[in-house]
Structure 1
Amino acid sequence: MEVVGFMACLKTLRIEIIKGGKVPSDQLSMLDALEYLHIGLWYDLEYFPENVLESLTSLQTLSIANCKNLKSLSEGVGHLACLQNLIISECPELVALPSNMSQLTVLRKVSIDSCSTLPYGLQFVPSLRTLDIESCMSTSLPDWLGDMTTLEELSIGFCKKLRSLPSSIQRLTNLSYLSIHCCLI
């Protein structure tokens, strides 16, 4: 990954199938033009160092998949001023997002796929319009789902263990699209 640090104009970066190693914060911090970052199958990744994320000021899409040990995205997420899309897939240990999610004022769409639960902290995103929940392993969605009053679209699919929706969903008064498919509700 040493070569990445020399590509200051890089717009898209995919890092996949990594065993061992740490997030190369010194190299990623030089990618201030980066708009799309995908991290996948990083077996030992438990957290992102704060300084890595805070330097990615042009990042519009952050995709994290198959990071089975990921526990935290770090407070550096709050510095992603251009982040519009957040995709988290197959990260069962990630049950909470950083406390500064309220700073992500342009984050419009979040997709959560094959995770153990809907990560706490999403309800603090002030501009979230679309939430896609796929293959959630939980039997219920959190009551704070009703606090996401900016939501316009909510899609819930293939959540085979999901038994009910929280009554707080009635507070989603801006919701114009609701899709529930392949669930036992």
Structure 2
Amino acid sequence: MATKKTTSRTSPTKKPATPTPAELATQWRELEARLGEALGPRTSGQYPSELEPLAMTFEHAPDLGALLPDDYQRFVEELGYRWVNPGKKGLAFLPPRWRVQASQGMGEPGRPWTVVREEREAGRHDYRFVMFASEDLNDINGYCFGKSAQGDGLVVWSVEDSLPTLEQGTFTAWLAKKLGALGKQAATPRKVRDDALGDPLDLLLDSYGATATQAREERAAAVLAGHPRNTKHLFLHTATLRVLPDMVGEFTELESLSATGVRLVLLSSALGRLTKLKNLNLSNNPELTSLPAELARLQSLESLALDGTGVKDLPETLLQLPKLRYLNLKAAPLTSLPDWLGRMPALQTLVLRQTRLPAESIEALKQARPDLTIELST
């Protein structure tokens, strides 16, 4: 008698259900708790929703709400605009105005940036992507929302060097994957330098508001705090300061102060207390557009470097500096030279390379001060 064969049927493996925004919010909180236990409190934080950038890329700021999927909006309603930083590669959710600012700086695949920029400057650009999260805003890297190439649904795209590159799926699927990767970092024992932690984007340093102002002051003061108050030479080249804080006035023995390329936007009036200062170098701070009136108190100042700053108009307070002999204005956006410049008593060298000053303005200064060395572009 033939034996009847039986066949076993294997049930198809079910795909794991995609977490809901509420479940993802819970997982995010758990991640923050694990990171805090492993590396301390500077591994997570939250941006104020009203955080306003110091500058927008273009004047015309669009309403990008139509490009924000519902699951993302439910997630930020639950948690706010949080960030985590495990010391290697973090993730930060951009508050509304920063979403706009970052989106303005993005290009569009397949379109020349010159054309996109012209449209955005004119306020007639139809935005197709909105950047909502990042690990690095300096080079505009992170993640944006945009329509899928396979249909009209909104999906996450990775952004590299300001361009959307690859689709990453829905917001919930993308975030579940990111949480898994960040969780592995939290579970891996390692030593992390404390200065590698904190806000991964430094948004507060580039924002308006009382909270942002306090953060800039604290950051700059922390940089200065490690130096003896009787030091004579201070070089601040290794940190983003944004401001030269009131604490600088405590360094009354200073003879040289150099704060180049630290993204200054503001100088404290306390700078005027440095009456022994001979050399002040503020070069390569393009967002620094003005100088405090208290600069006139620097009666020992001999050299002032404003090259690469955003200073458009020289304050007449410079006329009150009896020993200033060297003034560097290379690549500053000056449109004219004040008449009083020729009356500065000690001025010997004036650097005007890479400026767009009218020839007649320079010629008038040469006539007024034939002894003055004026360095121009060749």
Alignment of 1:4-83 (within 5 A): 22-24=219-221, 28=225, 31-40=228-237, 42-43=239-240, 45-50=241-246, 52-68=247-263, 70-83=264-277
TM-score by length of structure 1 reads 0.69
Report the structure number with the largest CA radius of gyration.
2
- Is residue 145–residue 168 contact of structure 1 (8 Å, CA) maintained in 2? no
Q: What whole-Å deviation, never above 9, does each CA across 1:39-66 have from its counterpart, x for those lacking one? A: 22533x332221x111101111111111
* Residue 331 of structure 2 is aligned to residue 135 of structure 1: yes
Q: What whole-Å deviation, never above 9, does each CA across 1:10-65 have from its counterpart, x for those lacking one? A: xxxxxxxxx6661236963861221111222533x332221x11110111111111
* Residue 295 of structure 2 is aligned to residue 101 of structure 1: yes
The 1-side partners of 2:223 and 2:265 are apart by 21
The 1-side partners of 2:273 and 2:310 are apart by 26
Per the alignment, residue 284 of structure 2 pairs with 90
Question: Measured at CA, do residues 180 and 97 of structure 1 come closer, stay the same or move farther in structure 2, by a change above 3 Å?
Answer: same
- Is residue 255–residue 277 contact of structure 2 (8 Å, CA) maintained in 1? yes
The 2-side partners of 1:166 and 1:172 are apart by 10
The 1-side partners of 2:280 and 2:368 are apart by 21
Q: Which runs of 4+ in 1 moved over 4 A?
A: 170-173
Letter in 1 for 2:250: S
Deviation (angstroms), 1:143:
4.5
**Alignment: residue pair count:** 161
Letter in 2 for 1:36: H
Deviation (angstroms), 1:132:
2.2
Question: Measured at CA, do residues 30 and 147 of structure 1 come closer, stay the same or move farther in structure 2, by a change above 3 Å?
Answer: same
Per the alignment, residue 124 of structure 1 pairs with 320
Letter in 1 for 2:318: L
Provide the secondary structure at the position in 2 that maps to 1:145.
helix
Question: Measured at CA, do residues 151 and 26 of structure 1 come closer, stay the same or move farther in structure 2, by a change above 3 Å?
Answer: closer
Provide the secondary structure at the position in 2 that maps to 1:86.
strand
The 2-side partners of 1:148 and 1:87 are apart by 19
Per the alignment, residue 91 of structure 2 pairs with none
The 1-side partners of 2:321 and 2:351 are apart by 17
Deviation (angstroms), 1:105:
1.1
Per the alignment, residue 162 of structure 1 pairs with 357
Root mean square deviation of aligned Cα: 3.1
Which piece of structure 1 moves more, 143-152 or 81-90? 143-152
Which piece of structure 1 moves more, 101-110 or 126-135? 126-135
Q: Runs of 5+ in structure 1 lacking a partner?
A: 1-18
Question: Measured at CA, do residues 86 and 30 of structure 1 come closer, stay the same or move farther in structure 2, by a change above 3 Å?
Answer: closer
Question: Measured at CA, do residues 135 and 32 of structure 1 come closer, stay the same or move farther in structure 2, by a change above 3 Å?
Answer: same
Per the alignment, residue 157 of structure 2 pairs with none
Letter in 1 for 2:234: L
Per the alignment, residue 373 of structure 2 pairs with 178
Q: Runs of 5+ in structure 2 lacking a partner?
A: 1-201, 206-217
